[in-house]
Structure 1
Amino acid sequence: MSPLTLLRLGLAGTRVDTVRVLLTVLSSALAGLSVLAAFNVLAIGPLASGHSDMLAQQYSNALLREPGLRPGVIITLVLLTLPVFALAGQCVRLGAPARDRRLAAIRLAGATPRQAVAVAAAETGVAALIGAVLGLAVYLVGHRLLDRPDALGKLALPTDVFPPVWQTVAGVAAIPFVAALAAALVMRRVFVSPLGVVRRARRERPPAIWAGLVLAAGIGLFAAMGPLGRYTEKLKITWLVDTYGYFVYAGAVLSALGIVLGTGWVSYTTGRLLHRFARRPATLLAARRLMADPWNGSRTLAVLLVCVLFGAGVAWVRSWFATENLVSARYQRMVDPSMEVTVDPFYMRTLDLLDAAVLVGIALTACGMLVALVDSILTRRRAYASLVATGVPRAVLARSILWQAVIPAVPAIAVALAVGAGLMHTIASEARAGGGDRETCLVTEEQCNNTPTTDPTVWSVEYQPEVRLTIPVPWTELALNGGIALAAVVAIVAIGLIFLRSSTELEEIRTT
């Protein structure tokens, strides 16, 4: 099969295929923008003087000006690509039955199974390439338009630097490669015969044990931060301090992975409980669907839970900084009541940006959930139409779809909130200021160096007051994050139910 024929077959199809290609282009463009923005921040690098720890004074934003804060910006931009790629993954599955029938026709014409998979991967890869190039064009245009220094000559964004050409090319090329590879992996359990038969491998049970072990490993890494800090401080092992960042990143990744792997188990378990105690038709239908296919819908829910996990951690850090400011103010008043207490709002403004990133991630994830829900309704329209024909009201079907989405989401969101806040609690549970002894030399420096601090004739030891407060649990912020996530799930279901009436017409019983 020539590349031109492969491209022509990949882009052929119905209006549903066109919508799938357009959504893939959009998600790939967003992913390209996030990756290029991360490379742009990384391109700031060391200054012309060669010192990487010096401030980049050409920027008005301290997140870009201070080298120690740039890795957090880069990680946040990279994390934003997760819901974008989840959206792309759901777009690949949109209209899957019609695509499978088209691939069966290609098989009937003489194509091999590998060539049929190549057609599906080519469709996704070409659409992702178009989207990545579109994202590159938007990035270049925005880079030029946003290059506007303020009255002091400072830039709000790093528009004075570009990432290296090889990074730009690699970032743009990686998006269609990953998208095509994901499409091929999605098709790995699908066998398309020339007669149009599509057989899927039986789904395994959700990985309950592995999910718990991975989550426990992530929590354990965070819990080890406190003892490790005390150990290094006691033995004065300075090189171990450099491993703190690795512990934090590894713990965060493992915790998020454990939450993701556990969504299928949560769906299956809530389905079993609902099937045992439910008495209404809508809840029974939802319970059976959750038990029959616990992974359906849990894929996009998993990405939503990662956003909730990150948002819960940000809420705890906000409470931590607020407590630190309160403790510092109390200590300053205790030492010198006449001192004017000032609080730097920089870190709180930074947390506002992180909250905005969480909201963007939830919005992108909601788009992926909407695509998945609509595809689920359209795929099962024959079964839904059959239920309506036998006398099941459409309102019962609508409520069953709502229960199927909300019931697993409630405990999963609660677990994500608890884990996100608990991880940060292991790092910081209280804020303190002052304390200890302040030693003052009463004689010459040489005499002080040769005399222990217990000698009152040489040293004056003054005890410093200490202020210590326990970091309060940010119940309001946690409830707000959980409420936004749950409201997003309910809103997506409400929008998706618009397609239910047209998908339950009696004519749909004849749909193949």
Structure 2
Amino acid sequence: MRPYTLARLALAGTRTDTARVALTALSATLATLVGLAAFTVLAIPTPVCCDGRNLSEQYSNALLREPGLRGGTALALLLLTVPVLALAGQCARLGAPARDRRLAALRLAGATPGQVTGIAVLETGVASLFGALVGLGAYLAGRELLGRPDRRGRLALPTDVLPPTGVIVALVVGLPLLAALVSAVLLRGVSATPFGVVRRAVRERAPGPWAGLLIVSGLIAFASLNPVLDWYQDRHRQPPLLLPPLLLVGGGLAALVGVVIGTGWLSYTAGRLLHRYGRGPAALLASRRLTADPWAGSRTFAALLAAVVVGAGAAGMRASMLARVELARRTGSGDNNGFYLRTLDLVDLAVGVAMAIAAGGLIVALVEGIVARRRAYARLVATGVPRATIGRSIAWQAIAPAVPAVGVALAVGFLLSRGIGGGPARGGGGMIGVCDAGEQLCADPVTRAQHLRTEWVPEVTVFPAVPLEQLAWIGAGALGAVLVTVGVGLVFLCSSTAVEELRTT
């Protein structure tokens, strides 16, 4: 098959196929913008002046001036790529049954299995490449539009620096390649034959609670970081360079994957409980659907649960930092941990944006599920089942696994923050110098010595509070996104349950 013909077949299709390509390109655009922004922050040079100051004074934002805060700022930006990539995965499933039937027709016309897979992979790759190029163009245009200094000659954004060329090329080329690779992997379980579409990957066994082992291993990795570093410090030795990031990245990924995969077990358990204790046809329909495909929850709620874990972790870290700020106030040590809380404000903003993007992915997944099962729903309506009953069953399918999954995600994120943030903050137990003059006199070393006195400060212990209010708001926001998604999905229920859908091919 010639490349031109392959490209034409990959980009052909109905309006649903056009929407899938457009949404995939939009996801790639967002991911490229976020990635370029994060690496731009990391590319800011750190000057070393004669007085030892290493602040980048050309920026008006303290998060960009302070070198110690740029890592957290870049991390907050990279967190946005998780729901964006999950949204891309959900968009790739839009109209999947119709696309699979189209690929089967191509097999009937003489296409080989490799050519059929190449068509699907090329569709995703071309859409992602187009979106990545648009994202690069928007990034370069934004540098020109927003690169205007203020009255003091400072920039609000790092428009005076660029990431390394290799990083830009890796992002623009790597994202489409990754999307194409993921599409090829997802198509392994689908065999487009001339006689129809056969999905070979069928899970007959119920999911087990083994995902809890991943969660526990992630929590242990985070909790062991400080003891391991203390062990090396007590022996006056340097830990291996890759050990701390390995514990943090590996433990975080293990816990996050455990939460996502564990949603399959929660969905299956919720389905069994609904089947045993549920009353009414809506609960029974939902129970059968949850037990028949429990892994749908893991696919659907992946981005949302990732945002909840990060949000709960940020809430726990904020509580630990507030405890240290309170300790500094009581002991008069002058610790400036309050300055570093601004990075967590950016993380909280990133979590909010991530939840909004994840809600978009939920809407795509729910609408796709309704459209894919429209003939089954149409048969139920034709046999006398009210549409309201089907709507309530869809709500049960979304809410029943979401409530415990969000609770587990909140608990895991908070425990991760406790593991890395340590226990209570302790200080004092010694003599400190206190300046009794005003701020101007105390700032001058000469006059400060004239007004300085020593004072005994007893040992103070401040326990970090459990941020129940913030955790409750994060959980409520996640469940609110699920409810909004259900409401939007039910709008498509009426058109998808018409009796004419029984004749849909």
TM-score by length of 2: 0.90
Q: Name the structure 2 match of 1:189.
A: 189
Alignment of 1:151-190 (within 5 A): 151-190=151-190
Query: Is residue 63–residue 342 contact of structure 2 (8 Å, CA) maintained in 1?
Result: no
One-letter amino acid of the counterpart of residue 471, structure 1: P
Shift in alpha-carbon separation, 1:9–1:407, aligned structure 2, 3 A: same
Distance 2:430 2:208 in 1: 48
Partner of residue 360 from structure 1, selected from 341, 353, 358: 353
Match of residue 425, structure 2, among 428, 431, 448: 431
**Cα distance in 1 between the residues matched to 2:25 and 2:379:** 35
1:387 is aligned to 2:380: yes
Superposed displacement of residue 52, structure 1: 12
Residue 394 of structure 2 corresponds to residue 401 of structure 1: yes
Q: Secondary structure at the match of 1:111?
A: coil
Q: Structure 1 CA distance, aligned partners of 2:53 and 2:204? A: 51
Q: 2:261·2:298 contact (CA, 8 Å) conserved in 1?
A: no
CA distance in 2, matches of 1:197, 1:239: 54
Question: In the superposition, relative to structure 1, how do residues 242 and 11 fare at CA in structure 2: closer, same or farther (>3 Å)?
Answer: closer
Q: Shift in Å at residue 242 of structure 1? A: 8.0
State the one-letter code of the partner of 2:198: V
Structure 2 residue 74 is matched with structure 1 residue 74: yes
Question: Cα deviation per residue 1:196-241 (whole Å; 9 max; x = unaligned)?
Answer: 3434421254653542222111111112134324433433334469
Deviation at 1:118, TM superposition (A): 0.6
Q: Which residue of the partner structure matches residue 35 of structure 1?
A: 35
Shift of 1:463: 6.3
Match of 1:477 in 2: 470
- Opposite residue 136 of structure 2, the aligned amino acid is L
What secondary structure does 1:156 align onto? Answer: coil
Given the superposition, is the C-alpha separation of residues 245 and 100 from structure 1 closer, same or farther in structure 2, using an over 3 Å criterion?
closer
Cα deviation digits, residues 112-134 of structure 1 (max 9, x gap): 01111111111111111111111
**Count of residue correspondences:** 484
Residues of 1 paired with 2:115 and 2:244: CA distance?
48
1:428 Cα offset (Å): 2.4
Structure 1 residue 147, shift from structure 2 partner: 0.5
Q: In terms of mean alpha carbon deviation, does 56-65 or 87-96 score higher?
A: 56-65
In the alignment, structure 1 segments of 5+ residues that lack a partner are: 336-340, 440-460
In structure 1, the partner of 2:4 is 4
Amino acid in the other structure paired with 2:164 = P
The residue aligned with 2:500 is 507
Offset at residue 342 of structure 1 (A)? 9.8
SS of residue in 2 equivalent to 1:162: coil
Further displaced range: 314-323 or 114-123: 314-323
Q: Secondary structure at the match of 2:26?
A: helix
Question: Per-residue deviation at 1:329?
Answer: 1.5
Letter in 2 for 1:374: V
What does residue 454 of structure 1 align with? none
Single out whichever of 18-27 and 260-269 deviates more from structure 2: 260-269
In 2, Cα distance between the equivalents of 1:163 and 1:227? 36
* Residues 32-181 of structure 1 aligned to structure 2 (within 5 Å): 32-47=32-47, 54-181=54-181
1:290 maps to 2:290: yes
Partner of residue 479, structure 2:
486
* Post-superposition offset of 1:245: 4.3
CA distance in structure 1 between the partners assigned to 2:51 and 2:217 by the alignment:
37
The aligned counterpart of 1:349 is 342
Q: Which moved more, 1:231-240 or 1:323-332?
A: 231-240
Q: Give secondary structure in 1 for the equivalent of 2:231.
A: helix
Give the deviation of 1:435 after TM superposition.
2.1
Amino acid at match of 2:460: V
**Counterpart residue number, 2:224:** 224
CA distance in 2, matches of 1:295, 1:223: 30
Q: TM-score, normalised by structure 1?
A: 0.89
- For the residue of structure 1 that corresponds to 2:36, the secondary structure is helix
* One-letter code aligned to 2:311: G
On the 8 A contact 1:310/1:358 being kept in 2, the answer is yes
Aligned to 2:161, what secondary structure does the other structure show?
coil
Superposition deviation, residue 402 in structure 1: 0.5
Within-5 A mapping of 1:456-475:
464-475=457-468
SS in 2 for 1:497: helix
Task: State the alpha-carbon separation in 2 of the partners of residues 149 and 345 from structure 1.
Answer: 27
CA contact (8 A) 2:215 2:412 kept: no
Tell me the CA shift for residue 437 of structure 1: 7.0
Contact 1:297/1:369 (<8 A) preserved: no
Choose which of 364, 367, 370 in structure 2 pairs with 1:371.
364
* Offset, 1:193: 1.1
The alpha-carbon deviation at position 268 of structure 1 amounts to 1.2
Deviations 1:247-296, CA, capped at 9 Å, x for gaps: 23322222112112212111111111221211211111111101000112
Matched residue SS, 1:429? coil
Residue 326 of structure 2: SS of its match in structure 1?
A: helix
* 1:409 alignment partner AA: A
Find the aligned partners of 1:129 and 1:294 in 2 and give their Cα distance.
33
In the other structure, the counterpart of 2:278 is 278
User: Residue 264 of structure 1 aligns to a residue in which SS?
Assistant: helix
Q: Judge which range, 288-297 or 429-438, deviates more.
A: 429-438
Task: Judge conservation of contact 2:24–2:128 (CA < 8 Å) in 1.
Answer: yes
User: Residue 206 of structure 1 contacts residue 262 of structure 1 at CA under 8 Å; is this kept in 2?
Assistant: no
